[in-house]
Structure 1
Amino acid sequence: MPTTKSPGVYVKEAPSGSHTIGGASTSIPAFIGYTPNGVKNTPTLVRSWKEYLTQFATEFEPSAEASGGKNAEDTPPDLSPLYLAEAVFGFFANGGAQCYIVSLDSNIHATDMLGKPLTALAGVRDVSMVAFPSLWAFTEKQGEGKEVKQDPISATNGAALQQKLIDHCAAMGDRLAILDPPYDDKNSKDASDKQVADYRSKELTTKQAFGTLYFPWITVPGLDKEHPSVTVPPSGHVAGVWAYTDATRGVFKAPANEALKGVTSLAATLTDDTQSPLNEAGVNCLRAFPGRGLLVWGARTLTDPTDDDWRYLNVRRYVSFLRRSILDGTLWAVFEPNDERLWAGLSRTVTAFLKDQWRIGALQGPDPGKAFYVICDASNNDATSIKNGEVHCDIGVAIVRPAEFVEFTITQKLETS
């Protein structure tokens, strides 16, 4: 109580002793690629397109050096700085707020380029997406002696690098890879759905839920006079849609049926029939719909089609969100006395967090008891676990899944007198 004799109302603040869990970030991607400027192999946070330009990309001229070649005649123009820049621009244009940039060394062989960047990203806790939009712009040496030349990276080697991204995300457990299929802009101006299905079945054969693949590539207005219109990988724009959906609806909502901003056309036109086999293979399609524009029209992971638990992108992302949120929000329990009071405190903290998640619609069930359970008591903390310094807290959640197929039955009814 303040030492004052003036009449009035006084408020005294006192600590409650309770702990709360705040939701972890789910909207920050890491973009990997070559940039003309900037520190190499070190994740750098940028919060706007202008900041990216200042730190990494004062120009977008094709570079022979970035392709790993020194003879301009033997080295095709490198579009990796452009692809990365377009991805970052598309991310911010579609609702993203901040992202990490990992600039690659230009003198490392294409198949070895991800070692240092992924090691560095393992130490950045707030990354929730990883994309490599520059991948298909890189080249690799082919032939020997006078026959040596730089060819686009092969589908096999590209898939191997994408698998490294997925493995990194799976090891971290709190992020997903947004992948782009190969696209030959020299020999084919229209990417084929059959080619992408081939790539998925023969090259990118992973069955892990920590990866997603989006098709087709997108055509966007160029960032400079040299590229007034350019076809680029969609991963940057898709990452922006993920961030926008997280901000407006929540990470539990599938980031699909959302418009792509800053895109003029798609590199392939898909129908329901051509999308069906791709959807079954876990390829998320971008579609054009009359009157609605260009939409993200898929929300699956690359897991096995029979894996009902991790088929949907929002389910995998939401569990990663819960994992990170609960991990960060219960650090206070480390080194506390391992007894009933600690178990009750953990149970209260997690239950309060999950009840809030149920209220916003992330968990399904008519009441919290049907939506989740939390067990942290003597039933799962016996004498052996206590001696080992362990506390066990079992959590089960009923996550909302997307309505991927909406069916209506229409019956004619004859008017009767």
Structure 2
Amino acid sequence: MARLDYFAPGVYVEEIDRGSRPIEGVQTNIAGFIGFTEAIRNGAELGKPMLITSWNQYMEYFARENSDGFTDFNAYLPFAVNGWFLNGGARCWVVSIGTSLPKTAEETIQPGTESTALTIRTNGKRESLQFILKPEEAENGSVSVEIQASEPKSDPEDPNVPAPVPAEFFSVVIKRDGEELERHEHLTMDREVQSVVGDYVVTKLEESQYVMVTDLTQKGLPLARRPQDGQFEVSPPPTLPTQENLARYVQGVRDDRSGIQGLFEIDEVTMVACPDLMRAYQAGLLNEDQVHGLMELMVSLCENSAPNPPNRMVVLDTPPDRIKPQQVVNWLDDDFSRRSMFAALYYPWIKVPNPRNAGKPILVPPCGHMMGVWSRTDETRGVYKAPANETPRGVIGLSYDCNFREQELLNPKGINCIRTFPNRGIKIWGARTLVEPEKTEWRYISVRRLMSYIEKSIELGTQWVVFEPNDQDLWARVRRTVSNFLERLWREGALFGASPEQAFFVKCDETLNTPDTMILGRLYIEVGVCPVRPAEFVIFRISQWNGQDEQ
């Protein structure tokens, strides 16, 4: 708006903000996973979401040193996350609910009796020193261990003793929250060092109040065995869940940003899965009702995102003891009995190589691989393309080969089949939500996710409208902003229609915004879109023609 305070004659140059502000589409392919991991380290916390951008980064937070990232007890989460990245997933959040299958409270080792070890390597990537937080310090939280260059105390008096190599000496500084707690100078890996020259690191750190140290080296020169410089964290072990409270750990606490509820506090997450619900069920840690309760929680959290538009979907897995199609239908109809446009279900389980068993196949839930295909489809085609008729990567077989007649039983129920076809391999052969059958407008995953994408993009892209003067000029600017965004979607093929007028409408005028509503400070905009839908049934009608009959 122009200034109103011109007093002196002259030339005034003013910048005027005109035109509509473009709406940028939100990202739709960010996943959230909950389950068991091999370790929790490098700043990751039990039950708290951690951002992961690659499989290597997953191993930094949730695998032991030099590990492949999987577990000895065959947790399904590592397979799901690995399948996510294999199939084109980029960014995801991971919540670890433990590093082992929970035991009873009496058998579970809690902080104070053991600690989490930190291994520091040499510059040659060999193991050098291992630090452990002392049990009495576990309740006070983690400490940082800083390795710095140092020097010998002095040269040896004996002329027959070789002069020390300064580069082999180092110091260890113990800190907590940036405050220095201890400093140990003139340290070396030489077990026979003279006291006038320096101190053997293990012997010297026996004086430490905070950490215990172990020499992992066997032989070699002290310089070659010296730990690399840097700052490292020594963490106390997490408070592990027990059989009695596992369901509560998985559910989490919203205020603590933990578990399932904590994952749903991450605004950017758009798809969620908890593959280890089935691992806990197999191990007898959760019964079927508890599993259904946690699945219901995830579905309900996807539905209830007020006041923001719902933009998440949960990918569910069938129980491992429901192998045949009729068993899966009976489970969905009679046992779980939950329908929602924000949920998807895939069948059967998939076979993938198990690195912990010499690469032999293991059956795992398909949720992680399916979500990876969703992400890949979003990137290559768009969120409006149904994530089906795609080959899931990393899959070498299925737990059950479903045929055409069996899929006729499953597909109307919203159960998406993964099938094997001759000469075509394994294909995802379904793209439906678990919505009630009569709600045909929300039948397809791509339609539900496209609508969520449009709603969330408009919500974030029109924040500038708040507190603007509510008049005809604002109405026109809003119409133009939203129309430009929807026309761009139409040109990309996300909306159906021969023209923009057939594909969508945006209404914002005096019929919606009356004087009474404006007094209340409200601005109403109506938007209608016609999303494209997948050609699920391709029907050719073929008849004989003699060349003269009318077509």
Q: So what's the TM-score if we normalise by structure 2?
A: 0.65
1:11-30 matches, cutoff 5 A: 17-30=19-32
Residue 338 of structure 1 aligns to a residue whose secondary structure is: coil
Aligned counterparts of 1:384 and 1:125: Cα–Cα separation in 2: 34
Residue 203 of structure 1 aligns to a residue whose secondary structure is: helix
The farther-off stretch of 114-123 and 16-25 is 114-123
1:249-260 matches, cutoff 5 A: 249-260=381-392
Q: Is the 1:110–1:139 contact (alpha carbons within 8 Å) kept by the matching residues of 2?
A: no
TM-superposed CA distance for 1:225, in Å, is 3.9
1:248 is matched by which residue type in structure 2? T
TM-superposed CA distance for 1:375, in Å, is 0.6
Aligned counterparts of 1:267 and 1:248: Cα–Cα separation in 2: 29
1:121 equivalent in alignment to 2:114: no
Aligned counterparts of 1:18 and 1:211: Cα–Cα separation in 2: 36
Residue 254 of structure 1 aligns to a residue whose secondary structure is: coil
Q: Is the 2:419–2:426 contact (alpha carbons within 8 Å) kept by the matching residues of 1?
A: yes
1:315 equivalent in alignment to 2:447: yes
Name the counterpart of 2:34.
32
TM-superposed CA distance for 1:290, in Å, is 1.1
1:118 is matched by which residue type in structure 2? I
2:300 is matched by which residue type in structure 1? D
Aligned counterparts of 2:379 and 2:45: Cα–Cα separation in 1: 30
Unaligned runs of 5+ residues in structure 1 are 1-12, 63-77, 141-149
Name the counterpart of 2:47.
41
TM-superposed CA distance for 1:154, in Å, is 2.8
TM-superposed CA distance for 1:243, in Å, is 0.3
1:178-189 matches, cutoff 5 A: 178-184=315-321
Aligned counterparts of 2:262 and 2:493: Cα–Cα separation in 1: 35
Aligned counterparts of 2:526 and 2:252: Cα–Cα separation in 1: 35
CA RMSD of aligned residues (A): 2.0
Aligned counterparts of 1:399 and 1:302: Cα–Cα separation in 2: 19
The farther-off stretch of 264-273 and 104-113 is 104-113
The superposition leaves residues 177-205 of structure 1 with CA deviations (integer Å, 9 ceiling, x where unpaired) of: 00111103xxx9xx211111111111221
Name the counterpart of 1:54.
60
1:13-412 matches, cutoff 5 A: 17-35=19-37, 36-37=39-40, 38-58=44-64, 59-62=69-72, 78-80=73-75, 83-105=76-98, 106-107=240-241, 109-112=245-248, 113-116=250-253, 117-139=259-281, 151=284, 153-172=286-305, 173-184=310-321, 191-225=323-357, 228-412=360-544
Q: So what's the TM-score if we normalise by structure 1?
A: 0.85
Q: Is the 2:19–2:477 contact (alpha carbons within 8 Å) kept by the matching residues of 1?
A: no
Name the counterpart of 1:68.
none
Residue 275 of structure 2 aligns to a residue whose secondary structure is: coil
Q: Is the 1:118–1:168 contact (alpha carbons within 8 Å) kept by the matching residues of 2?
A: no
Unaligned runs of 5+ residues in structure 2 are 1-14, 99-239, 254-258
Number of aligned residue pairs: 373
Aligned counterparts of 2:316 and 2:264: Cα–Cα separation in 1: 19
Runs of 4 or more above 6 Å deviation: none
Aligned counterparts of 1:207 and 1:240: Cα–Cα separation in 2: 23
Aligned counterparts of 2:63 and 2:49: Cα–Cα separation in 1: 15
Aligned counterparts of 2:539 and 2:360: Cα–Cα separation in 1: 43
2:31 is matched by which residue type in structure 1? P
Residue 537 of structure 2 aligns to a residue whose secondary structure is: coil
The superposition leaves residues 12-71 of structure 1 with CA deviations (integer Å, 9 ceiling, x where unpaired) of: x99655301011111111011122213122221111111101111235334xxxxxxxxx
TM-superposed CA distance for 1:227, in Å, is 5.9
Residue 224 of structure 1 aligns to a residue whose secondary structure is: helix
Residue 442 of structure 2 aligns to a residue whose secondary structure is: coil
Aligned counterparts of 2:298 and 2:344: Cα–Cα separation in 1: 11
Alpha carbons of structure 1 residues 17 and 408: separation in structure 2 relative to 1, 3 Å: closer
Identical positions, percent: 40
Q: Is the 1:96–1:243 contact (alpha carbons within 8 Å) kept by the matching residues of 2?
A: yes
TM-superposed CA distance for 1:86, in Å, is 0.5
The farther-off stretch of 402-411 and 263-272 is 402-411
Aligned counterparts of 1:60 and 1:197: Cα–Cα separation in 2: 32
Q: Is the 2:416–2:432 contact (alpha carbons within 8 Å) kept by the matching residues of 1?
A: yes
TM-superposed CA distance for 1:139, in Å, is 4.7
The superposition leaves residues 196-226 of structure 1 with CA deviations (integer Å, 9 ceiling, x where unpaired) of: 1111111221121110100000000113346
Rg (Cα) greater in structure: 2
1:39 is matched by which residue type in structure 2? E
Alpha carbons of structure 1 residues 326 and 415: separation in structure 2 relative to 1, 3 Å: closer
Aligned counterparts of 1:165 and 1:311: Cα–Cα separation in 2: 19
Q: Is the 1:260–1:295 contact (alpha carbons within 8 Å) kept by the matching residues of 2?
A: yes
